[in-house]
Structure 1
Amino acid sequence: MVTEATASQDVHATAPGEDLSGLTAAASRFAADITFADLDAEVRHLSKRCLIDGLGVMLAGSEQPGMAALEAFIAGEGGTGVSRMLGAAARRLPATRAALWAGTAGHAMDWDDTQLAEGPGRPYGLLMHPTVPPLAAALAVSDLVATEEGKPVGGERFFTAFNAGFEVACKIAEAINPDHYMRGFHTSGTIGTFAAATTAAKLLGLDAAGIARTLGVAASMAAGIRAGFGTMTKPLHVGRAAENGVTAALLVRQGFTANEEALDGKWGYLAVAGPGGEPSLVRERFGKPFTMASPGVSIKPYPSGVLTHPSMDALLFLLREAGLAPDDIARVTLRAGRNVLGPIRYRIAKTELEGKFSFAFLLAAIVLRGRCGKAEFTDAFVASPACQAMQQRVETAFDQQIEDMGWDRIRSRVVVETKDGRTLERWADENYRGSPHNPLSDAEVEGKFRDCAAGLLDAAGVDALLQSIWNSDGLDDAGVLLEQLSWRK
């Protein structure tokens, strides 16, 4: 478990005798050697679920308020258009900007999937969002490669590159000291850069040495700090991860040099940004098993941080079982440890972006609407008098008993006080909905996609796109996904 003592260590320190070598080489060899045949039926099925989820949240995110400013920035930059813009396939952008756009959209609602930890001392649910960075890179670079080669990128090639980036990043996230996140780095922005870099390099046909150099360039571009949570900057972290990963691969293809051991050693990424880490946990385990399969990923039922979901469900189920209406509620108190309360920073949310990191808003939405989805995450609903008033009735409290249970799971309990004097309690289910221990069904994943697509694609378009994704490994042209995702001129 991360402690205050570990958080005060020198950022450049490594433990005596700590072996930080060999991770870059192992990651690069894995990415260079992986073929579609290495993906078994389980990984292929899970990949399709991740694609449905990732493309869905990209679609929903492409209409979020912050995207207007990003679109104006991209338009002002210009450049040679080779890659289709997600949501507006008639528009072509430079591959780096197409990746920036898709990656930012994919995290704009904080609804993308979450990697689970498996190593000792790793706080559960605090690694990275693994799908969007490599998926954004795969979409953008596939278009670039298709233009250069004069033929489309097929589903097997697209699938393999996506999985290469997904797996490399998840293993790096597992290896790095968890103090990386606790100090304030946003792992999806930092480690996500390595995901996009690996996927881009694989699609561009770079060999193991080229992928190692790409990771070397990416290591000097990987960024994102948690101070941006609750603002438009947080999703930009993931967009920049995708853009920087593509940039790194394209630079290396042009002959750009970099340290081929940039994840390793005294001044490598793990030592500097961790500090330290345990490459031995993962160095010989790339694809053995694939992280996507074990310990797995969480597909989010709610567009907020995964740490909030068990508590939201606990309140939802308690209200249903007790038959309580909003006017019955006098007070709601959420009791949890630091791993749950610490990252959720806003006492009262004034905007939907703040709402993603405000238990007052998230639980108020459950009370008022009995749900918390795309329709609730709007500035208008967050700022409404009813929502602001209900937020005032929601509090959080540190609970030492829950803290002492450890951070290996997301633990909390909700306490509801009613206006007629009753006090009702419910513990959150450690096997929360969406986790690998209690996964959303395929139908529920499709249902989430339909929610994301609401108002953007018609029912026939959604059905056709879902069919394409379920058959994506057999597509002759993976670019059809971008065409079917288009909802704008």
Structure 2
Amino acid sequence: MATKALAAWTVNLTPSSIPASVQQAAKRSLYNYVSCAIGGSNHPTVTKAHDALEPFFGRPTSTLYGSGGKRTDAQHAALLNGPVASALLAYAEYNGSVSGPEILCALTAGIEASCKLGLAVWPEHYDIGWHITSTTGSIGAAVAVGKLMKLSEDQMAHAIGIASVQVVGLREMFGSDTKSFHPGRAAQGGLLAAVLAEKGYTSSESAIEAKRGWANVVAGGGTPQLQKYVGELGQKWEIEANAFKPFPCGIVCHPAIDAAIQLHHEMERKQFSLKQIEKIELVVHPLVIELTSKRKPKDGLEGKFSVFHGVAVGLLYGKAGPAQYADEVVQDSAVVSLRDQVDAESKKSLAADETYLTVYLKGGDKLEKHIQHAVGSLEVPMTHEQLEEKFIDQAALVLGAEGAKRASGLAWKIGEEEDVAAVLTKI
């Protein structure tokens, strides 16, 4: 019984039962989340949603990150701030008496639930078109918030069931505002599920594993491996395999961007000019072309699904941060010209995070880079320093350099605080 097993494991999880390495992974995950929430807070996707929903906001209990201290009700904060962690922190502020260790424990539970269930229906679930971040995210958010609420095993099972019917997210929406809606809505739905369950709202107690339950419905004809992955809870921790994205775009683009940035620096060392580039050849895994093949992105959002744009800005700027995905950069003539020189070929023999990039120069010279594992992967993880650089790089666009540094310091300490709400109001 996967539903009850997940509920029981979550309810019985304690901070002291979580290995130190897992706690560290949770701390890094929370820090990275705050970084992204602030960095994306003034994106048009967020501001449009905020402006549309503002007339319906309730009692202001929870912070909207990057807004200069604005607050709204927990449900809307969960939606506007993003994924599992947004529901968790929104409820923590609403509750007002949650400690850092409790937050890290609940976050770990939510991430483990999302990842284990996602793995149980992978890859068929994703292949038929579900956006797995959000289709498992509502359950993860319900588990995380339910843990903070100290739900009983029975209540937790019902929360999981209520969340399981809130399946949201289609890959067709990638490149549009609705892609961002997916994880926010999942967080909001998970919070709703936990709140309902606490008051006795019921669902199927076999919501995950039943013949017509979540796993079998969303598995796309595949055979869910629930027994394997749910059985691993507390033994193999998925949060330790949770890599962080150094670039704000589709993760399958990252090897190509990594290669382009390295070649940018090599061209500088050898004093080659971008004007000398004759053509650019890229060899990638087929999934890269399937997911990020937008040759002529019209704005920053579409640029995130263009491996061609990623290579172009990597070569041109030696960076691929939020600033390089601004609308004006995507439309810049120099970027467009370089982007048009990129030819991409897919090979099934390559790993998903592997790429070959070759820059041919006028006169016969060429530069080559093979990326076996991209920066940000488990094999080449981002260091604390790189995470801080990422935080400040994107938060500074919203808060300014000093504000970003201050927020970074506060975010690192969330997991250690006696009163998390008091810290969150300062970020």
Name the TM-score class by shorter chain. over 0.9
1:382 corresponds to which letter in structure 2? V
> In the alignment, what sits opposite 1:259?
204
Whole-angstrom distance in 1 between the partners of 2:192 and 2:310: 37
Judged with a 3 Å threshold, the aligned counterparts in structure 2 of structure 1 residues 213 and 455 are, in CA distance, closer, same or farther, namely same
Shift of 1:42: 1.2
Match of 1:203 among 130, 135, 148: 148
Give the partner amino acid of 2:369.
R
The whole-number CA distance in structure 1 between the counterparts of 2:212 and 2:68 is: 42
Q: Which residue is equivalent to 2:18?
A: 39
C-alpha spacing 1:177/1:453, structure 2 compared with 1 (3 Å): closer
Q: Is the Cα contact below 8 Å between 2:117 and 2:230 reproduced in 1?
A: no
Aligned to 1:469: 411
How far apart are the structure 2 equivalents of 1:465 and 1:247?
28
> One-letter code of the match for 2:358?
V
Distance of 2:404 and 2:365 partners within structure 1: 46
Match of 1:377 in 2: 325
* Matches for 1:422-441 after TM superposition, within 5 Å: 422-430=365-373, 432-441=374-383
Check 1:464–1:424 CA distance in 2 against 1; reply closer, same or farther (3 A cut). closer
Find out whether 1:91 has 2:96 as its counterpart: no
Note if contact 1:215-1:262 (Cα within 8 Å) is conserved in structure 2: yes
Q: What SS does the aligned partner of 2:345 have? A: strand
Residue in structure 2 matching 1:65, options 32, 40, 44: 44
Q: Cα–Cα, structure 1 residues 136 and 352, in superposed 2: closer, same or farther, change >3 Å? A: same
Task: Flag the 1:94–1:156 CA change in 2: closer, same or farther, 3 A.
Answer: same
Deviation at 1:411, TM superposition (A): 2.3
Q: Given the superposition, is the C-alpha separation of residues 89 and 475 from structure 1 closer, same or farther in structure 2, using an over 3 Å criterion?
A: farther
Matched, 1:338 2:338: no
Aligned to 2:232: 285
- 8 Å contact kept, 2:303–2:330: yes
Give me the whole-angstrom Cα distance separating, in 2, the residues matched to 1:461 and 1:318: 33
Partners in 2 of 1:89 and 1:421 — Cα distance?
Answer: 53
| Greater helix content | 2
After superposition, where does 1:339-358 map in structure 2 within 5 Å?
339-358=287-306
**Cα distance change on mapping 1:96 and 1:173 into 2, 3 Å:** same
Match of 2:183 in 1: 238
Q: Deviations over 1:178-228 (max 9, x none)?
A: 111111111111111111111111112211111111111111112101111
* Residue 356 (structure 2) aligns with: 413
Unaligned residue ranges in structure 1 (runs of 5+): 1-21, 104-132, 147-151
Segments of 5+ residues of structure 2 without an aligned counterpart are: none
Counterpart CA distance in 2 for 1:301 and 1:417 is 27
RMSD, aligned CA: 1.8
Query: TM-score, normalized by length of structure 1?
Result: 0.82
Superposition deviation, residue 177 in structure 1: 3.1
CA distance change for structure 1 residues 340 and 256 in 2, over 3 Å: closer, same or farther? same
Match of 2:28 in 1: 49
Contact 1:197–1:215 (Cα < 8 Å) also in 2: yes
Q: Deviations over 1:251-300 (max 9, x none)?
A: 2222221112111031111111113311132122112122122xx12111
- 1:68 aligned partner, one-letter code: T
* Counterpart-to-counterpart distance in 2, 1:338 and 1:160: 38
**CA offsets, 1:144-188, max 9 Å, x none?**
222xxxxx2111222211111111111111111311111111111
SS of the equivalent of 2:6 reads helix
Equivalent position of 2:248 in the other structure: 303
Q: How does 1:140-179 map to 2 (within 5 A)?
A: 140-146=90-96, 152-179=97-124
* Aligned residue in 2 for 1:218: 163
Corresponding residue number in structure 2 for 1:247: 192
Alignment check: 8 A CA contact 2:130 2:170 kept: yes
Query: Shift in Å at residue 459 of structure 1?
Result: 5.2
Q: Which amino acid letter does the alignment assign opposite residue 142 of structure 2?
A: A
Q: Residue 145 of structure 1 contacts residue 203 of structure 1 at CA under 8 Å; is this kept in 2? A: no
Q: Say if 1:48 and 1:469, in contact at 8 Å, map to a contact too.
A: no
